[in-house]
Amino acid sequence: MDDSHAGVETIALGERLTAEQVRIHITHLPAMILAPTLGGLFSAWVLWEAVEERYLAIGMALVLLVSALRALLYYWYRATPERRQYERKWRRLAILGALVSGIIWGSAAIFLYPPLDPDYLVYLVALLALIPVAPVAALAIYMPAFYAYYLPCIIPFLIVLLASGNRPEQLTALLLIMMSGATINFAREYAKTLNENLRLRLQLSDKKEALEETARVKTHFLAAASHDLRQPVHAMGLFLESLRPRLRKPEDRELLDNVDNALQGLRGMLSEMLDISRLDAEVVHVDHRPLRLCDLLEKLAQEYAPQAAGKGLRLRFRCPDQGITVISDSSMLERILRNLLENALKYTQRGGILLACRQRGDHVQVQVIDTGRGIAAEKLDEIFLEFTQIDNPARDATRGLGLGLAIVQRLARLLGHEITVRSRPGQGSTFNLWLTGGEESARAAPAASTPASPTDRSLAGLGPVLIIDDDEDIRSGTARLLRQWGVHPLSANSAEAALALLRETGERPSVLVVDYRLAEGQTALMAIDRLQAFLRTTVPAIIITGDTDPERIREAHGSGHLLLHKPLEPERLKLCLASLATSPAETTP
């Protein structure tokens, strides 16, 4: 939060309300400068030779002087930092400006009335009666300024009329007194309405800032909690993988599989949180290409049909035109459809699910229709919110975190696809995904070739691997796993310790495996830079992070090194090490 907002927050609501009244009053100054100046010049032209000309000249000079001073006040205020606009001097200046202007215009009744030429009497009476009333709307927002202008402006004219001894003029004064009462009452009611609106606006602004601060705290807490949870889960996965070859009895292996299944469920929940963070960090690369939609839908239908049958449901697939082609990112589109199908399976207890597509002009409509419990109309906007499960108030962990549809909406937005939903309680839901249709010529485009997987590559040719992590369990688990794979591990808890170890042993690592967040504010990028400078060699590096803070993900993603996220499946680490096993290190000059 910046300094201006920090200063504002310490000011009471009443003080802020008054400051806001003054702010609006000052923003109206250009109108209160222009109108009186033009009106004064016009009146001086009309009344020239009908009243004392010297008084007109002096009066106009004073009006122009006050207008110039008000213009300076306006620009001075606008150039002042927000936190200093709450100072009391602005109130005094606003009242002073209104008071001086009221005295100048009020003096016109003393020096100009009655006119030398009786033909101008009606014009002068109308002018002197209208001058106090004209700026009411602009001044009433700040009543002290209104009184400072109105009373000095109207009272001299009333005194002149009452003291004239002429009955029509005295009756005119009485009429003006009644009009003044009505004008003041109108100004008070007008100010009351405006100020109530201002008060509500400030209160809403306070609540909005409080909600935003709560959201920031929640995001920070979730990022910190996610990182702290990922650490032991990551270490647990490493130890379980190291334990697997040691177990011989079938019942021991079965027990290990049960533990591993529970760990996979936890990994899945953490991965959903990571997906949200990666989307927020805008590091997800979109690869729009033409693809045969029916092939993807058929594959998903075949994969999820056994799960549906296991619940006594029927999953049907309908694609009337096998040649339908759309432009999208195949992996992200598949993720969207998987989440929609899994959501339908979760909330459908009887009947079935339909996965269908159809051509709609230049677009293709994909539908996931279920006969589940449905969603109330007033809840439809909530289903795409993070951590929201409409019918899971008890937060049953076995039913996920409530991120599936939030990910669907963000991925759809990222891909430029529209998603809509219709639902009726007790009858089911229909999710519609609108895709851009592909060109006819693109339908025959051959599928992109997939590079060969390095899963089966040997790690035998891999030299020492240096592990840097300030968590002892993770260092120990990773080192144990590397030795099990036939790789010599070196481990340290910081860049300084790693440099000391290399100086002592004289070994040169072939790969660096570095945790992103190290102790004392150090990061993997700092550690890698220091080690490569020491080794004078570009050593391949793998950064492993448990952070879900979008800013940290962006920084790590932009480093150019391999980036893996905790909790990491051991096979994923092995795959990455295998891909680097033949990457030669290049000595830098």
The helix/strand/coil state of 367 is: strand
Residue of 142, 108, 109, 121 lying closest to 32 (CA atoms): 142
The helix/strand/coil state of 353 is: strand
Find the mean pLDDT for residues 7-20: 70
The larger pLDDT score, comparing residue 443 to residue 221, is at 221
Condensed to tens digits (0 to 9), the pLDDT of residues 303-360 reads 888 888 888 888 988 888 777 888 888 877 888 888 888 888 888 888 899 999 888 8
User: How far apart are the C-alpha atoms of 208 and 214, rounded to whole Å?
Assistant: 10
How long, in residues, is the chain? 589
Find the mean pLDDT for residues 390-413: 61
Let me know how many helices (H) and strands (E) the chain has, helices first: 18, 14
Task: Record the tokens describing residue 234, joined without a space.
Answer: 């990551």
The larger pLDDT score, comparing residue 265 to residue 539, is at 539
Find the mean pLDDT for residues 35-52: 89
* 74 has a pLDDT exceeding 60: yes
The whole-angstrom distance between residue 535's C-alpha and the CA centroid of its chain comes to 43
H or E element, residue 315: strand 314-318
Condensed to tens digits (0 to 9), the pLDDT of residues 110-149 reads 998 888 888 888 888 888 888 888 888 788 888 999 999 9
Task: Record the tokens describing residue 327, joined without a space.
Answer: 């432009």
* 393 has a pLDDT exceeding 50: no
Q: What is the DSSP string of 328-378?
A: E-HHHHHHHHHHHHHHHHHH--SSEEEEEEEEETTEEEEEEEE-SS---GG
| DSSP H helices in 282-329 | 293-310
* 588 has a pLDDT exceeding 80: no
* 152 has a pLDDT exceeding 90: yes
Domains in the chain, ordered, with CATH?
3-211 (no CATH), 289-442 (3.30.565.10), 465-587 (3.40.50.2300)
Residues 588/536, Cβ–Cβ less than 8 Å:
yes
* 577 has a pLDDT exceeding 90: no
User: How far apart are the C-alpha atoms of 160 and 111, rounded to whole Å?
Assistant: 10
Residue 541 β-bridge partners: 512
Lowest-confidence pick of 46-50, 251-255, 347-351, 474-478? 251-255
pLDDT at residue 454, as a whole number: 42
* 433 has a pLDDT exceeding 50: yes
Residue of 271, 335, 275 lying closest to 566 (CA atoms): 271
Q: What is the DSSP string of 228-258?
A: HHHHHHHHHHHHHHHHGGG--SHHHHHHHHH
* 4 has a pLDDT exceeding 50: no
Task: Record the tokens describing residue 448, joined without a space.
Answer: 């992109």
H or E element, residue 211: helix 167-243
Q: Mean pLDDT for the chain?
A: 79
Condensed to tens digits (0 to 9), the pLDDT of residues 499-542 reads 999 999 889 998 999 988 888 888 888 989 999 899 888 888 88
pLDDT at residue 230, as a whole number: 60
Q: C-alpha distances in angstroms, 510 versus 49, 464, 476, 483, 496?
A: 101, 6, 19, 15, 18
Residues of the chain with pLDDT > 90, as a percent, come to 13
pLDDT at residue 5, as a whole number: 43
Residues 478/466, Cβ–Cβ less than 8 Å:
no
| DSSP H helices in 416-517 | 472-484, 495-505
* 429 has a pLDDT exceeding 80: yes
DSSP state of 377: G
pLDDT at residue 158, as a whole number: 92
pLDDT at residue 445, as a whole number: 40
Residues of the chain with pLDDT > 70, as a percent, come to 78
First to last CA, the chain: 45
Cis peptide bond upstream of 570, omega within 30: no
Condensed to tens digits (0 to 9), the pLDDT of residues 172-216 reads 889 999 999 999 999 899 888 888 888 888 888 888 777 777 656
pLDDT at residue 151, as a whole number: 93
pLDDT at residue 385, as a whole number: 64
Find the mean pLDDT for residues 89-107: 91
